[in-house]
Structure 1
């Protein structure tokens, strides 16, 4: 008896000190744990962390599960849970033990009942459970551990570990699949799953509620899944097996030292994450589907999805007239419960009050129309609306060229700010009390059109009077304009004959104080002598000068024969003269005498960024503090251009040679020759003449001529990667093959080795590694393929300035392989598609 007591006590001591096995004499309970031999994984009772929120009390009772988590990761990260749908009130009230039949079971000691079991047939009653460094809990023969009766790796929950099989047993029909947690604090099975196609095709599906396939990886091509090429460029070695008995995918790690995992998240996305010790957090490498709103029914009934810019932003909201059904679930990222009406419909109240109004319709434009639409017989939008009102179960309708469609069920899969296929205008049925008078659509569309025609007649009469007045004003203005042009021409010494030059003179009518004499500039620059030259390009030359008051200047003199110069001068003159920001170069003056086209700027002692950054010796002057100052300053300047100035401006030619540095290395964005002004509501434009610099152009601009603020964001991303790595985007001049920097950074990022690309001259500043890695991630976010996936410059500024902001996940960037050929560095080139390239020398 004494010996038995000793063995039991000895077994408890072993468990408390991290033994890796459970046997018939050493059950596990309370705070006891077992740890794998290499101390990589731990098995024990855990309680999921509860997020802080207004609706979740931090003092609420804890609940526990038996599971496996990483031993080396300080942030509790379960990879497997035995009792995912059965919680334990307290670890001391439960015991994980070997039963008499040899199975591993979890018992509730207070109720003397079995909660969970491995439930396999075992030929021997002498078994033990052992936790492996692979993260798998194995039930083996006690006398011969190579005989494995059961292993947790064959029964995954939400995490797919290396060596595990994700696939189908063709004999038993059992599918090894991942199932998401219900919410971020509840590991019980949720609505989303990742599994191999049960119909036998070689592709993965993400499914909703075991019924709807809303994402596919594409077929396996022997190396990777066709719609997941990023999986072939990362740190994994995949293996796909398909034979008569089974079909499965497994993987192993390229580097065993890396801690990485695949999960199916509560958001309905499958994700690859890597633990980064320096940040003490999991870093998202990629996620599929990339847009949150592609997840089926993510926001539940009457929930509307909006793809957010930042991972911390809210992407589910209730539509007008609805509120969260269970707020506490939403706080835990479980939106499946959806939203509930704030006020019942008129037809549901059976009210006969004279003061009760009939239901109204709220107009939702640019939305992805919900699923489960039904056709209705209607020849007009008026008849379509009546058809919906006459049926109390009708919740919304839409009328388009295809006819009338109505919805008689809860609305799911709504997405706002949507312009893709399946989008349109939805009229949502609400109680009249939910809509202010100006938002109600009690008048049917046909009635609205009648009123519009009447109003149009009245407006037309007024417009006619205004047009007459405008014509009279125009002739008066033209007379004043001609008089002014002649006055300026006399001062210039020659009468301009080119109408474009005349337009240029008109552009400076409000900035006369900027006019400088040509004789002053000749004296300041030693008659534009070569000894004062700072740089030259296809547009002309830039000279250093000193004004009579001692002020140093940079004089940009456009070639008189340059047709590009006229447009560039006008753009810079109009834009820079009206812009005032500490991170934009300041315009001092302009000279237009004797048909000259000259712009005068403040002088930047440290010249352009590229002259220092890409020089093996000078780059040492750019320590990390200065580089981060440059990155932050350029980001502030772009935010001003895009969002804060009186003009909404897209630069279109942001690059290292167009970033000038003052004496203190403060950056100034320069060269607005290609900049474009957008209207108040304008977000993008298209041009047939694509001008800019290879490597910095966004794919939509380079290929299709589409440009927007997100095009500048792309150029900024390339610039950030150049600043961090100290490498030119067009590769080494001595290389035989063009090297696209974005490709290189992405490859190293996915392999977890991106730190190796940091400029070697920064090696003396290891304390800034976290900030450097953050900048790399921001750079990769800015060069993503789709413009809508790139952050705005406001968001970039928040990311740069905040110490706690959670950065969005990075998806595969745009690889413009079609632009990867080597270019002639000594000439201004034009491609076969008419693209012109601006090649500017350092200033």
Structure 2
């Protein structure tokens, strides 16, 4: 008998070396991670099942409370359960035609296992969420998506008598007059023990009655018991008469009481709906008796009037300060927040710090009261109504990917339309490629990772969402960089905001000159391949470190892609194309790969362009890329040299460069034809 750790991560016991007989394998007993080739389902013959089960806490890998199961007698429907019983999330039924789960289109089989061939994992996390994570060059796991999308939707995540809050830096906290039951587990992200009372309740008739602490704007996921009561006092008395009653609520002549430990309480920010108020039962010693009045009596009656005036001034100042410092928000469609316009004015200091702008409007930096930074985009020329705007924004807000800027919320008041994003401290890719004085020169490794990350974000929009989302304006200005220079595609989905009808997109949105696909300019309906073309044009700028089109001193247009395409086709030294600031410090194979991909992406016929999924695989080195043909558009530019010159290779004259370009054109007039499938690989 031998033990073998196989390449796919399966630990197996074999009858003998090189034997095909497996006596036992770890894939039959998964823990919290789902690996490729492992099964997660039900064996009806053996009456056994495989499940993913979370860790107990961040340091203890023993069995936790949350598990992912295949639901018996279902069409491939997965459930997440708490403690093996209560289920609080389902992936929906499996659609064999579209190869997606109805409730979570991101959870495609090939996506779980392949994940664009990067190092990735699928885990049942101790947070009660299933997560798809990828390993980044920064040596850290980064989440692509998670379900449920909000942690507070996880059943009993925070334990008894605790409050869950998505807005707070601390996810779980105790109710007033309660304290953490197990600080050690709490610090290890295991909140299941919840909180305990500081003082025990008194249910005896001969002692002082318990009192109630009001909690406003809360969301309680557990269903209470309903009682008949004509007033708030009657409802309160009904709770006090039951020693197991821990909370009550009275509204619109409806009395609700909660029996036993209080679970699944979620705190919502002020102004958020739907929220409700309820009263938590506490020992009398925990709350001052409101009937006991202060014995302090004012002796100088003449100063009362002045004191009232001073108090009024102070209260007014506090009110004005709170009004300016508090952001009135409303959570809609999951995690998206509906901001009030005035609060965004305050956060951005009346839109004073401009970060940039484009065809859809300007972007401003803002700071929320919790000191977190945001980027606020004021949309212009957006004509649809509020209902349609909110619906489409909520659709975009559910999309989560490590290479897409997260939409935090929006504002829709009258004709005012604003989008609120996470703030990216390193600005846009354009800022760094332009070599400004205070910008950082991106080395080749970083440029390549930014190109790959951008491709992954676009592939997710095109191929992994429920509906294909076309960005329509890919350019360096819309690629933002976070603190670790991880690329984030910004302004994605704005085409959907303008309208789902492509003809409307054509008439109201023209993208950016220099990145537009030929079919878009000619007026035909666009597809996702329009983004591929724009991405290819941007790749040339990754290589050269400058704009594709520049005006020389003598008025001639310098167009880098034409010269680059001829250089690639003739098999020249591609290091000549490289940004001089890199001093030829680039990985030759990666440079060849990225130049060839750029040429394939800007082919005139969209069927000859690769999909973004194929681009990702090529840049990852999984697929080889053939030598591309020079697109007809670039060939025409090569043939018309009265007004066009190309970037010189070194100090050689423009005439020499043009001569080489003409030679390349002549040798590529009849390129070998290939099918679109071959072109993409």
Q: TM-score, normalised by structure 2?
A: 0.51
Q: What is the aligned partner in structure 2 of residue 60 from structure 1? A: none
1:298 and 1:413 in contact (8 A); partners too: yes
> Deviations 1:127-167 (Å, cap 9, x if unpaired)?
11100110010111115521111110111000000111111
SS of the residue corresponding to residue 818 of structure 1 reads coil
Written as runs of structure 1 = structure 2, the 5 A alignment for 1:91-170 is 127-170=1-44
Q: Secondary structure at the match of 2:262?
A: coil
CA distance in 1, matches of 2:27, 2:53: 14
Partner of 2:322: none
1:70-129: CA deviations, max 9, x gaps?
Answer: xxxxxxxxxxxxxxxxxxxxxxxxxxxxxxxxxxxxxxxxxxxxxxxxxxxxxxxxx111
Is it true that 1:391 corresponds to 2:116 in the alignment? no
Paired residues in the alignment total 412
Q: Does 1:335 align with 2:60?
A: no
- Kept in 1: contact 2:55–2:62 (CA 8 A): yes
| Uncovered stretches (5+) of structure 1, i.e. residues with no partner | 1-126, 239-250, 444-570, 586-607, 615-633, 656-672, 675-685, 727-741, 786-812, 827-843
Alignment of 1:347 with 2:203, yes or no, is yes
Q: Aligned-pair distance for 1:221?
A: 0.7
Distance in 2 between the 1:380 and 1:783 partners?
A: 52
Counterpart of 2:280 in structure 1 is 428
- Shift in Å, 1:393: 1.6
Q: Deviations over 1:328-352 (max 9, x none)?
A: 000011111111001112326x874
2:176 aligned residue: 320
Q: Which residue in 2 is equivalent to 1:260?
A: 120
Deviation at 1:175, TM superposition (A): 1.1
Question: How many Å apart are 1:772 and its aligned residue?
Answer: 6.5
Partner of residue 231, structure 1: 107
Gaps of 5+ in 2: 294-340, 399-406, 434-452, 465-472, 511-681
Q: Which residue of 1 aligns with 2:500?
A: 818
* Alpha-carbon shift at residue 747 of structure 1 (Å): 3.6
Q: Residue in 2 aligned with 1:653?
A: 378
Q: 2:71 aligns with which of 197, 212, 216?
A: 197
- The DSSP-based 3-state class of the residue aligned with 2:217 is strand
* Structure 1 residue 703, shift from structure 2 partner: 11
What does 1:393-408 align with in structure 2 at a 5 Å threshold?
A: 393-401=244-252, 403-408=254-259
Alignment match of 1:283 (pick from 142, 157, 160):
142
Task: Give 2:80's aligned residue.
Answer: 206
Query: Pairwise mapping of residues 43-62 of structure 1 onto structure 2 (< 5 A)?
Result: none
What SS class does the counterpart of residue 405 from structure 1 fall into? strand
* Helix, strand or coil at the partner of 1:433: helix
User: What is the aligned-residue RMSD (CA, Å)?
Assistant: 5.2
Structure of greater Rg: 1
Q: Distance in 2 between matches of 1:702 and 1:158?
A: 33
Secondary structure of the equivalent of 1:823? helix
The question of whether the paired residues in 2 share the 8 Å contact of 1:203 and 1:216 is answered with yes
Shift of residue 746 of structure 1?
3.1
**1:231-280 deviation line (CA, Å, top 9, x unaligned):** 34xxx517xxxxxxxxxxxx632654x2111000111000000011x211
Contact 2:164/2:265 (CA < 8 Å) preserved in 1? Answer: yes
CA distance 1:167–1:579, change in 2 (3 Å) = closer
**In 2, Cα distance between equivalents of 1:159 and 1:340:** 33
User: Partner of 1:247 in structure 2?
Assistant: none
SS at match of 1:713: strand
Deviation readout 1:340-377 (Å, 9 max, x if unpaired):
001112326x874xxxx421111112212252522223
- 3-state SS of 2:203 partner: helix
Q: Structure 1 residues 360, 644: CA separation in 2 closer, same or farther (over 3 Å shift)? A: closer
Query: Is residue 639 from structure 1 mapped to residue 491 from structure 2 by the alignment?
Result: no
Deviations 1:542-598 (A, max 9, x none): xxxxxxxxxxxxxxxxxxxxxxxxxxxxx9xxx99x96887359xxxxxxxxxxxxx
From the superposition, tell whether residues 389 and 609 of structure 1 become closer, same or farther in structure 2 (CA, over 3 Å): closer
Q: Could you tell me how far apart the structure 1 residues matched to 2:19 and 2:498 are?
A: 53
Distance in 1 of aligned mates of 2:90 and 2:272: 19
Counterpart contact for 1:743–1:815, Cα < 8 Å: no
SS in 2 for 1:314: coil
Q: Work out whether residues 271 and 284 of structure 1, in 8 Å CA contact, stay in contact via their aligned partners in 2.
A: yes
Please give the alpha-carbon distance, in whole angstroms, between the structure 1 residues aligned to 2:167 and 2:223. Answer: 26
- Whole-Å separation in 2 of the counterparts to 1:652 and 1:770: 18
Question: Which digits, 9 at most, give the CA deviation of each residue in 1:685-741, with x for residues without a partner?
Answer: x969989xx99x989999994589994314978x97785899xxxxxxxxxxxxxxx
Contact 2:41–2:69 (8 Å) recurs in 1: yes
Query: What is residue 62 of structure 1 aligned with on the other side?
Result: none
